């Protein structure tokens, strides 16, 4: 057991997968000598050499599109895109091909790629370095979209993503990268993609979160308990596609109330899908409208103001109280 | 140093062997097995006949929109011939001739244009990708395949196609740039058929040739007469040989002409002059190749009749097979993932229920 | 007054705008001599010349990105992307710049572009020619996303989009292009972007649709009335960003029931947002869960099977009856 | 015709005037107004001093991540000098020197790196775009600006920048291809500073020079010593003149070197040798330009002291102004549309209520 940050835990998952399977490759900008701008690929060039930890020229679509071809020759490419905000340069390759090849060829050609990228705000970065585009990818059938919330699940889910026979978009919350350490077991672990977990059991209201927002929801739950005598259950979704509708509905049927928390803009965000699933599954159990605490329908402000934009415990507490007092 | 020309180490050349008037440059003429020559001709002709048949089927409503490859058969066929079985080929929808050579049956092409995903599945053992619709997007995975070949180290190469229009897309550029940097065994073939729907080659890029774009990537470029199957074979062999032995990528511009419409949804009369088409008709790769074989004594009238009959039967059989093809209407859910997600399982059940309802009596009115 | 198809009505709107304002330009692939692959730009090259109706090389990102620069020099570019499925080649320009310039420069530089594209399925086209990516664009703050349903509103909304000082993604339902004719008045009309309309008043259930699905909803309403004695109200949203939440909630409060219909995949589609808005606005009025009749979470099948995928009146009727009988 | 080299009508040349050792090619030396030379030097030095100050502020936590332009000042400054006021300039974040010349105040740069959108707003009358973060994406609107200039017909041109890394992106390619096809008045300047974060120029593209990429677009390319402000001015003037008079686009490669880190988030020791940096230090554009002015008698010690003092005061004043800058925290909703949508109005109200709550007593517990 070791106490690791998420960055180290992800690094461990990559190194483990590369050790176990010579077909696992890592490619992207600055993943080699520089060891990734967040150091997630630390030591990989040294251990696995430049044919398996590959520094590429500056072209996201070629990293992903090249990855498709590598997959067809039997490799398992883990593509790093340097920031979420630059994933759109590769978006056509994801939409046109990565997600479609299995279906297009009735299983003859598949794209078991993992496309990793730092995700979300909160690190005082410049524009395009703080986006939360999970809904954009979740809407694309054929992909799986994973967002871990801590070191241990990050390592287990990245392993699961690499083992998964289908393409996985793997969002790494930047705000969590070095925020805290967690016990990570020595033996490799996986977690099932598409399953969330109850991060804190409770009975009065369900707070539904993922990624860096999990901490926000947990902090809110604590405040709700301490200051308002409200016992909140907190769900950590871990994947937004597939979405664990069963977990969500099971919880909401117990609590009768729900607040969804995400940092992405609200309009057509994942929160809307969660509300729809609750309505479809548990309408008669609802004691109050489901609230969405999200980013605003704006561009995330430059860093001086980003904390105003990002959901914080206060907003979650206020929303939860509204549902409780409804 | 103050002001000097930059020396460019890469070569950009033109190549032609079998001229439109039947003359052959015997210095460059490849020594091909006569049986191969006959098979190549048969394949080229099959492609042409298929093209004609597909147009008819489309007009009769028995096929969807169809994109002919008339006039461009030599370019892909020459490339396919120069590849080995375990090399990769990444086509667009104008490479039917080459893919027929590689072993794709006519039947599969009919399925593709007939609106069935099954039309994307190559026969077992054939290492080709299906048609790519988003222009130039396939250059990226073509490059990736070449990358995989290189990393595998087994001497395999990848030939990837796109059109003259495709060279304007960012994907074309990024793929060639990666191929250069990683010295990949990629043979990038641009079928310059002079048109991208209504946009002429001259409005697609100000570069005087497509081949010279190779210089941007530090590689060699070759502008080949794409209607000359001998030149296409020689050029590709050279590029393949170079790629196989670690010499890296080559850009081949196959200069050809789209003798027919862009697709059956297109009316070329709106944007190009008949005269231009007339000018290109005598340069038809099929006529030229036929004359070459005749001159070589490899094709006589009885032989031609025999080939014609064989091809007609093959296509007839393929059409029958195509029209008998049936698909499970709920199948489209099945291949989204290796294992269906719970939500998709539910949707599949929804879909099946709907399909059953469709064939069941209407529900009773609300009382 | 003339009886026009949607193609002709759109063509009229373009010609009118170009006549009125010399800064209006049309650019795209095959928009000139070929008059657009659907003939929406018919006659424009002839009337306005090659400097205002511009055939471009084959590069979507350059059509949109070039359009941004043209806008900075005072032009009002109407960019045509040949099909929705190829809009992703330009997606990074839309995400990174088109939607952001006003905010980034506090109003100093703006992108009053219209990005038109044929939208949706139903015309037996090959792959990538039948997508419905409205949710992908609606989630991007800074854009407006318009989807007309018939010739008259298409013409009025395209005019409004060209006059709009902000970027508008304008989806033209292919299945409607030549499906029917409608009276279109001689004088130019506009309709407000962001406002839907009641396409058929009713009292038992609200069917919410847009684009080609409006006809499907209207046919379903007829069947519901004729065969099931259910009086359905049908809303035509016309825009999915902004979304006319007021119209939706006003209607659902009256009917207590709603079915959302769209051809895009369900997961994180616009339907989810509509459900969320209803829950936020009218939970206590709901007599039944809101149903979503949508495309499946798959790739839209090749054309032999696309009608199985696309919502049809039977599916809408079944869903409406479920809400009525809940 | 069988096998021949393709003749390339475009020129790819190198240009250098003021060598690192101070020698000047007097045939090519431009005749510049001494007052301009002094102002250019002052601007270059302001940029360098700002760079140093920004690094300090960043380390003190008074600024966000900062990207220095140390060593690259001449390239953008030479271009800016060769433009007229009504021409357009499209920068990346390494063009601070050029933008200072164009009239952007130091204060605005501090706002930009300090995390305020206001740092993107040029002063009135300045026709420059703000920094573009997504690499090479600005090439597209730079091309569009040139297009607009051409359509307006008023002889305006657009100079657009990107880095050596940026040349690998599809946007670079598409923009240059459009510029070629439409013969646009675009001066495309690539600051080849030899690094894209940790990726060296040699791994970015196999093309021997960046300038030769011009051939892919049927345009001329010029590889200029980017640390030589005289060469940059001459090269840009030539390209601008050509563009202004309908001669179309030019690709200029400014060969320079990033003497500092990529940004303050970067540690170049991980990937490059100090020796390489040491090799480039004597080629510093500022040293070279200073020596040139001294030799010309345009700069003496008292003059330098005066300039130093002026610059120090200017930067101090800018820092003060920056640190006094206040922004309405709800402002970020305001500029999304010309007129806020109803939903955004509601969200703005939500936001204002939240901000007020933040400064009000906590709500009472649920009873
Ligand atoms: C990315 C993309 N944009 C637009 C289209 C629509 N389209 C189909 S074929 C074509 C022209 C292609 O020209 P070229 O590359 O020269 O190939 P050719 O059709 O001549 O074989 C266009 C614009 C497409 N399929 N993909
Ligand atoms: C599309 C995109 N991908 C990745 C990045 C992250 N990034 C920022 S600067 C940089 C290197 C740029 O290199 P170059 O173009 O040579 O410019 P330089 O930094 O040397 O001035 C990278 C990869 C980005 N900003 N945009
Ligand atoms: Mg073509
Ligand atoms: Mg650089």
For residue D270, the SS3 value is helix
Nearest CA in chain D to A317: D363
Whole-number pLDDT of residue D280: 97
Residue spans per domain, chain C = 2-184, 197-324
**pLDDT score of C13:** 98
Fold classification of C2-184 is Rossmann fold (3.40.50)
| pTM across the whole model | 0.98
**Stated length of chain C:** 326
Compute the distance between CA of residue A58 and CA of residue A81 in angstroms, rounded to an integer. 10
Eight-class DSSP state of D6 = P
- Across the interface, whether the CB atoms of D168 and A57 are under 8 A apart is answered yes
CATH topology of domain B12-324: Rossmann fold (3.40.50)
Q: Residue D364: what pLDDT?
A: 55
Residue D222 pLDDT: 98
Q: Compute and round to an integer the Cα radius of gyration of chain D.
A: 23
How many percent of chain C have pLDDT more than 70? 100
Domain C197-324 listed as CATH 3.10.129.10? no
Contact call for residues D202 and D231 (beta carbons, < 8 A) = no
What distances in angstroms separate CA C246 from CA C210, C225, C255, one per listed residue?
16, 26, 14
Q: Chain D neighbours among A 159-198 (CB < 8 Å)?
A: none
**Residue among B149, D216, B122, D198 nearest A66 (CA):** B149
**β-sheet bridge partners, residue D186:** D158
- Distance separating alpha carbons of residues B176 and B220, to the nearest angstrom: 11
Q: What is the DSSP string of D198-222?
A: TEEHHHH-SSS-SGGGGGGGT-EEE
How far apart are the C-alpha atoms of A233 and A254, rounded to whole Å? 10
Any chains having at least 3 CB pairs less than 8 A from chain D are A, B, C
User: B130 phi and psi, to 5 degrees?
Assistant: -75, 175
Per-residue pLDDT tens digits for B215-234: 999 999 999 999 999 999 99
Chain B contact set for A104 (CB, 8 A) = 117, 120, 130
Which two three-digit tokens encode residue A202? 């409770």
Single out the residue of A203, A262, A208 nearest to residue A232, CA to CA.
Answer: A203
**How far, in Å, CA of D96 to CA of A278, rounded?**
52
The pLDDT assigned to B358 comes to 83
Please tell me which of the candidates C270, C280, C299 has its beta carbon nearest to residue A289: C280
Nearest to B147 among A70, A103, A194 (CB): A70
Question: What residue ranges of chain A have pLDDT lower than 70?
Answer: none
Both tokens of residue C163? 């006059």
Pairwise CA distance, residues C41 & C28, whole Å: 10
Residue D357 pLDDT level (bands cut at 50, 70, 90): confident
Token pair in block for residue A272 = 């809307």
ipTM over 0.95: yes
With an 8 Å Cβ cutoff, are D147 and C243 in contact?
no
What percent of chain C stands above pLDDT 90? 100
| Torsion region of D45: left, alpha or beta (phi above 0 gives left; psi -120 to 50 gives alpha) | alpha
Q: Using a 6 Å cutoff on CB, does residue B265 contact ligand 1? A: no
Residue D18 clears pLDDT 80, i.e. is over it: yes
The region that residue D191 occupies, defined by phi over 0 for left and psi between -120 and 50 for alpha, beta otherwise, is: beta
Q: Which helix (H) or strand (E) holds C260?
A: strand C258-265
pLDDT tens profile D293-334: 999 999 999 999 999 999 999 999 999 999 999 999 999 999
CB proximity under 8 Å: B 81-120 to C: 113-117, 119
pLDDT confidence of residue D359: 75
For chain B, give the mean pLDDT: 96
pLDDT in tens, D158-190: 999 999 999 999 999 999 999 999 999 999 999
Q: Quick check: D203 pLDDT over 50?
A: yes
Mean pLDDT of chain D: 96
**Cβ(D101)–Cβ(D77) below 8 Å:** yes
Q: Does this chain's domain C2-184 share its CATH topology with C197-324?
A: yes
- Local confidence band at B138 (pLDDT 50, 70, 90 cut-offs): very high
C-alpha of residue C209 to centroid of ligand 3, in Å: 39
Q: Do A279 and C288 touch (CB under 8 A)?
A: no
Helices (H), chain C: 6-20, 44-48, 60-72, 91-93, 101-104, 134-138, 151-163, 174-177, 213-228, 245-255, 270-282, 306-309, 313-325
Assess whether A92 carries a catalytic annotation: no
Dist. CA D307–CA D46, nearest whole Å: 9
Residue A27 three-state SS: strand
How far apart (Å, rounded) are the C-alpha atoms in residues B201 and C79?
21
Helix A60-72 vs helix B137-152: crossing angle, to nearest 10: 50
CB–CB of D134 and C96 under 8 A? yes
Going through chain D in order, the beta strands assigned E by DSSP cover 3-5, 12-15, 88-90, 158-163, 186-192, 195-196, 199-200, 220-225, 250-255
* B241 has a pLDDT exceeding 50: yes
Per-position pLDDT tens, chain C of length 326 = 799 999 999 999 999 999 999 999 999 999 999 999 999 999 999 999 999 999 999 999 999 999 999 999 999 999 999 999 999 999 999 999 999 999 999 999 999 999 999 999 999 999 999 999 999 999 999 999 999 999 999 999 999 999 999 999 999 999 999 999 999 999 999 999 999 999 999 999 999 999 999 999 999 999 999 999 999 999 999 999 999 999 999 999 999 999 999 999 999 999 999 999 999 999 999 999 999 999 999 999 999 999 999 999 999 999 999 999 99
User: For residue D310, what is the DSSP state?
Assistant: H
Tens of pLDDT, residues C228-263: 999 999 999 999 999 999 999 999 999 999 999 999
Q: Provide φ and ψ at D175, rounded to 5°.
A: -65, -45
> How far off is chain C from A108, nearest CA to CA, in Å?
16
How near does any CA of chain B get to the CA of D138, in Å? 14
Residue with tokens 């190194």: A15
Q: What is the pLDDT of residues B90-123, one digit of tens each?
A: 999 999 999 999 999 999 999 999 999 999 999 9
Q: Does B326 reach chain C within 8 Å, measured CB to CB?
A: no
Residues A115/A63, Cβ–Cβ less than 8 Å: no
Per-residue pLDDT band for B361 (boundaries 50, 70, 90) equals low
Residue D325 is encoded by which pair of tokens? 């800058």
Band (pLDDT 50/70/90 cuts) for residue D366 is very low
Task: Give the active site residue among A128, A129, A139, A262.
Answer: A129
What's the average model confidence in pLDDT over B339-366? 83
Integer Cα distance of C98 and A1 in angstroms: 48
Closest CA to C59 of B172, B194, D185, B261: B172
- Cα–Cα distance between C145 and D326 in angstroms, integer? 34
Q: Which sequence spans correspond to the domains of chain B? A: 12-324, 329-359
Q: What angle do the packed helices B342-358 and C313-325 form, to 10 degrees? A: 100
SS3 of residue C53 by DSSP = strand
- Torsion angles phi and psi, residue C319, rounded to 5: -65, -40
Cα–Cα distance for residue pair B204/B193, rounded to 1 Å? 12
Calculate how far, in angstroms, residue C19's C-alpha sits from the geometric centre of ligand 2. 43
pLDDT > 70: percent of chain B: 98
């Amino acid at each position: 057991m070791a106490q690791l940050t998420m960055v180290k835990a992800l690094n461990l998952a990559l190194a483990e997968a590369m050790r176990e399977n010579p077909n696992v490759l890592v490619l992207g900008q600055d993943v080699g000598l520089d060891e990734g701008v967040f150091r997630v690929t630390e030591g990989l060039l040294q251990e696995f050499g430049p044919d398996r930890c590959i520094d590429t020229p500056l072209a996201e679509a070629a990293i992903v599109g090249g990855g498709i071809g590598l997959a067809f020759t039997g490799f398992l490419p883990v593509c790093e895109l340097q920031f979420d905000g630059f994933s759109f340069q590769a978006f056509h390759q994801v939409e046109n091909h990565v997600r479609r090849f299995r279906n297009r060829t009735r299983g003859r050609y598949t794209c078991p790629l993992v496309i990793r990228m730092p995700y979300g705000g909160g690190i005082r970065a410049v524009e395009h370095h703080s986006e939360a585009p999970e809904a954009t990818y979740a809407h694309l059938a054929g992909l799986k979209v994973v967002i871990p919330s801590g070191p241990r699940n990050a390592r287990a889910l990245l392993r699961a993503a690499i083992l998964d026979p289908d393409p996985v978009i793997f969002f790494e919350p930047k705000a969590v990268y070095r925020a805290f350490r967690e016990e990570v077991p020595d033996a490799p672990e996986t977690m099932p993609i598409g399953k969330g977990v109850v991060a804190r059991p409770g009975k009065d209201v369900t707070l539904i979160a993922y990624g860096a927002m999990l901490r926000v929801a947990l902090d809110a739950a604590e405040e709700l308990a301490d200051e308002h005598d409200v016992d909140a259950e907190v769900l950590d979704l871990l994947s937004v596609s597939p979405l664990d509708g069963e977990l969500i509905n099971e919880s909401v049927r117990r609590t009768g109330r729900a607040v969804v928390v995400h940092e992405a803009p609200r309009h057509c965000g994942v929160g809307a899908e969660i509300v729809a699933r609750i309505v479809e599954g548990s309408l008669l159990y609802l004691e109050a409208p489901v609230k969405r605490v999200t980013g605003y329908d704006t561009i995330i402000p430059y860093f001086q103001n980003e904390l105003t934009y990002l959901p914080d415990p206060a907003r979650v507490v206020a929303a939860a109280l509204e549902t409780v007092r409804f | 140093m103050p002001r000097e020309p930059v020396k460019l180490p890469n070569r950009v050349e033109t190549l032609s062997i079998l001229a439109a008037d039947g003359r052959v440059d015997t210095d460059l003429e490849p020594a091909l097995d006569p049986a191969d020559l006959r098979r190549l001709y048969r394949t080229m002709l099959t492609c042409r006949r298929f093209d004609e048949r597909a147009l008819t089927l489309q007009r009769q409503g028995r096929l969807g929109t169809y994109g002919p490859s008339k006039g461009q058969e030599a370019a892909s066929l020459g490339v396919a011939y120069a590849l080995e079985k375990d090399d990769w080929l990444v086509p667009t929808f104008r490479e039917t001739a080459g893919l027929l050579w590689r072993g794709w049956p006519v039947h599969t092409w009919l399925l593709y244009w007939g609106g069935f995903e099954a039309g994307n599945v190559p026969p077992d053992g054939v290492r080709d990708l299906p048609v790519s619709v988003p222009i130039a997007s396939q250059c990226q995975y073509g490059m990736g395949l070449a990358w995989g070949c290189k990393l595998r180290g087994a001497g395999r190469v990848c030939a990837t196609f796109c059109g003259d229009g495709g060279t304007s897309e960012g994907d074309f550029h990024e793929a060639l740039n990666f191929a250069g940097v990683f010295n990949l065994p990629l043979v990038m073939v641009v079928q310059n058929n002079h048109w991208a729907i209504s946009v002429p080659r001259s409005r697609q890029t100000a570069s005087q040739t497509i081949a010279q774009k190779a210089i941007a990537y530090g590689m060699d470029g070759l502008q080949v007469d794409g209607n000359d199957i001998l030149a296409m074979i020689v050029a590709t062999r050279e590029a393949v040989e170079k790629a196989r032995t670690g010499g890296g990528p080559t850009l081949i511009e196959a200069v050809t002409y789209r003798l027919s419409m862009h697709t059956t949804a297109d009316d070329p009369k709106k944007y190009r002059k008949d005269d231009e088409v007339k000018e290109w008709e005598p340069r038809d790769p099929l006529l030229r190749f036929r004359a070459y074989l005749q001159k070589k004594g490899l094709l006589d009238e009885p032989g031609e009749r025999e080939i014609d009959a064989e091809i007609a039967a093959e296509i007839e059989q393929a059409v029958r097979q195509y029209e008998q093809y049936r698909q499970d209407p709920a199948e489209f859910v099945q291949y989204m993932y290796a294992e269906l997600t719970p939500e998709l399982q539910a949707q599949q059940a929804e879909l099946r229920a709907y399909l059953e309802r469709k064939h069941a009596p209407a529900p009773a009115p609300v009382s």
